[in-house]
Amino acid sequence: MSCLLLGVLRRRNAISTASVGVRSLASIPSLPPSVAEFVSGAVTECKPTKVHVVTGTPEETADILANLEKEGMVKKLSKYENCWLARTDPKDVARVESKTVIVTKDQRDTITLLESSFVKHNVDRRHCFFLHQILGITNPQGVKRYIAAAFPSACGKTNLAMMKPALPGWTVECVGDDIAWMKFDSQGKLRAINPENGFFGVAPGTSLKTNPHAMATISRNTVFTNVGETSDGGVWWEGLEPPAPGIKLSDWHGKSWKYGDSTLCAHPNSRFCAPAGQCPIIDPLWESDEGVPIDAIVFGGRRPEGVPLVYESFNWRHGVFVGAAMRSESTAAAEHKGKVIMHDPFAMRPFFGYNFGDYLAHWLSMETRKGQTQLPKIFHVNWFRKDQKTGSFLWPGFGENARVLEWIFKRCGRTSEDEAATKSIVGWIPQNGAINTEGLGGNIDMGALFDLPKPFWQKETQELRTYFTQQVGADLPAQVEGELRALEERVRD
């Protein structure tokens, strides 16, 4: 039996539950006309025996889980309330990017997929941006700013969005950790919403020490995929405390596993999936229809070498270039064996539905709408720079990243361009001492974190030129080409 599944994002009142035979499709009363039309079209094309409109009601969830349990696809975890373990086919542990498709009539039309009828928000596609996580950060004086960020897969989105700041007096609240839809409001302020209902996070490395808010979020009503299992009906993964004496473990294949074995207990891309509302620091405005006002956009990636802890773009146009030039070390995706530094512009590579040149032009066009638009500042961060000798991370990361957010926060409210910052070849970097290192301990090498080796950047710019030429070609906007040339000039000996 084939079934056409219609996923409906969080906005709950958008569409009511319906699991219907194809013939009765017309009788679903609350489907907006354009959605009903879309469904009929898909039904004609795909000829399913059944159509199910996914709505996310608790009854629906319980029903799906009960069926999956009956089929042996999920197992109830007796240690927690309403938690489930799913073990996938070992070959099916990550989205295969080369097999991810977006289907539209016209190749350049894919962004129509976000037409307003699927959500109660009127997403105006001409002025809409897509990024990843959104968080609110409040300083000790009670001033709050919202930051939208875009990191590629497994680069710390969930951890940043749910951060417990190591700096006293600062608080972080989470609006969302994976999707941000943004547009300028009538006052010219960029506003962002999280269209999702839950968190889908990487389990290994998540612990009370690294992300206590995530741990609280996943304590109930959670589905775990490809993690290890304990003999008392709980879960385990690399990064958690060793299991208590007497507790036996099974790995993600379901095979017996002992702490200290050389194989991994949990798959590196094993995940938790939990309702966002359970997050102890969920932002009070996380479901706001207007969205939250964005002061800063932060790009980032996993860069073991050459890329500083943080820098700010010289201006909007340069910031668009920084987004286009994003690269990140990748391992977890199914099709990438070994470690490679992949290009991942705007952390959108797997999702680009249309011409990359047009996408860049769209970002650039916001600058010429100046006057109406208060453009956010654009930053780039790298928590993952390594000591080339020891191979260990130079920066402690996690809650300590609040120190970097503090600098970003201050730069958003700055009164002059060079306040707390110095010009470098890549952008504005923090002045000596502008990152608060109090209480960090003496062995953080700030010099190494902000070192900008010319040979590295020469190679990087060459790599970028090749990438832009091959991937964007004639569609590369002149402004981005200009920014690349300017960087080439700056890194020249």
Residues found near Mn ion in the complex (CB under 5 A): 157-158, 201
What is the rounded distance in angstroms from the CA atom of residue 363 to the CA atom of residue 370?
Answer: 13
Q: Minimum Å distance from CB 383 to ligand GDP? A: 4
User: Which residue shows structure tokens 């996070």?
Assistant: 201
Q: Minimum Å distance from CB 259 to ligand GDP? A: 19
> Cα–Cα distances in Å, from 231 out to 78, 83, 208, 245?
10, 15, 21, 11
Q: Minimum Å distance from CB 391 to ligand GDP? A: 12
What is the rounded distance in angstroms from the CA atom of residue 460 to the CA atom of residue 70?
Answer: 53
> In a 3-state reduction of DSSP, which class is residue 486?
helix
Q: Which does 170 bind (CB under 5 to 8 A by kind): ligand GDP, Mn ion, none?
A: none
Q: Which one, 55 or 158, has the nearer CB to Mn ion?
A: 158
CA atoms within 13 A on the CB side of 479: 20
Site map 145..174 versus ligand GDP, x via CB under 6 A:
------x-xxxxxxx---------------
Starting at the earlier edge strand, list the strands of the sheet with 3-6: 3-6, 50-53, 18-21
Q: Is 401 in the site for ligand GDP (CB under 6 A)?
A: yes
Q: Minimum Å distance from CB 2 to ligand GDP? A: 32
- Size of site (CB under 6 A) for ligand GDP: 20
Rule CB under 6 A: which of 194-233 touch ligand GDP?
A: 201-202, 204-205, 210
Q: Which one, 181 or 428, has the nearer CB to Mn ion?
A: 181
Rule CB under 6 A: which of 360-389 touch ligand GDP?
A: 383-384
Long-range CB pairs of 165-168, under 8 A, 24+ apart, other chains included: 165/137, 165/399, 165/402, 165/405, 166/398, 166/399, 166/400, 166/402, 166/403, 166/439, 167/402, 167/403, 167/406, 167/436, 168/140
Q: Is 305 in the site for ligand GDP (CB under 6 A)?
A: no
Q: Minimum Å distance from CB 320 to ligand GDP? A: 22
Q: Which one, 165 or 204, has the nearer CB to ligand GDP?
A: 204
Q: Minimum Å distance from CB 16 to ligand GDP? A: 32
Pairing of strands 134-138, 144-150: antiparallel
Of the residues 48, 350, 353, 397, which one makes contact with ligand GDP according to CB under 6 A: 397
Q: Which does 385 bind (CB under 5 to 8 A by kind): ligand GDP, Mn ion, none?
A: none
Which phi-psi region, left, alpha or beta, contains residue 410 (left: φ > 0; alpha: ψ -120 to 50)?
alpha
Instruction: Return the exposure string of 397-416: e unless at least 16 CB atoms fall within 10 Å of the residue's CB, then b.
Output: bbbbbbbbbbbbbebbeeee
SS3 for 65-107 is HHHHHHCCCEEECCCCECCEEECCCCCCCCCCHHHCCCCCCCH
Q: Which one, 382 or 461, has the nearer CB to ligand GDP?
A: 382
Of the residues 112, 113, 122, 393, which one makes contact with ligand GDP according to CB under 6 A: 393
> In a 3-state reduction of DSSP, which class is residue 196?
coil
Q: What residue type is 439 in one-letter code?
A: G
- From the DSSP assignment, how many helices (H) and strands (E) are in the chain? 10, 25
Q: Is 176 in the site for ligand GDP (CB under 6 A)?
A: no
Rule CB under 6 A: which of 421-460 touch ligand GDP?
A: none
Cα–chain center distance at 351: 12
Q: Which does 397 bind (CB under 5 to 8 A by kind): ligand GDP, Mn ion, none?
A: ligand GDP
Q: Minimum Å distance from CB 238 to ligand GDP? A: 9
User: Which residue shows structure tokens 């190679």?
Assistant: 459
Measured at CB, which residue is nearest to Mn ion? 158
Q: Which does 304 bind (CB under 5 to 8 A by kind): Mn ion, ligand GDP, none?
A: none
Q: Minimum Å distance from CB 168 to Mn ion? A: 27
Q: Which one, 127 or 386, has the nearer CB to ligand GDP?
A: 386
Q: What residue type is 247 in one-letter code?
A: I
Q: Minimum Å distance from CB 397 to ligand GDP? A: 2
Give contact residues for ligand GDP (rule: CB under 6 A). Answer: 151, 153-159, 177, 201-202, 204-205, 210, 383-384, 393, 397-398, 401
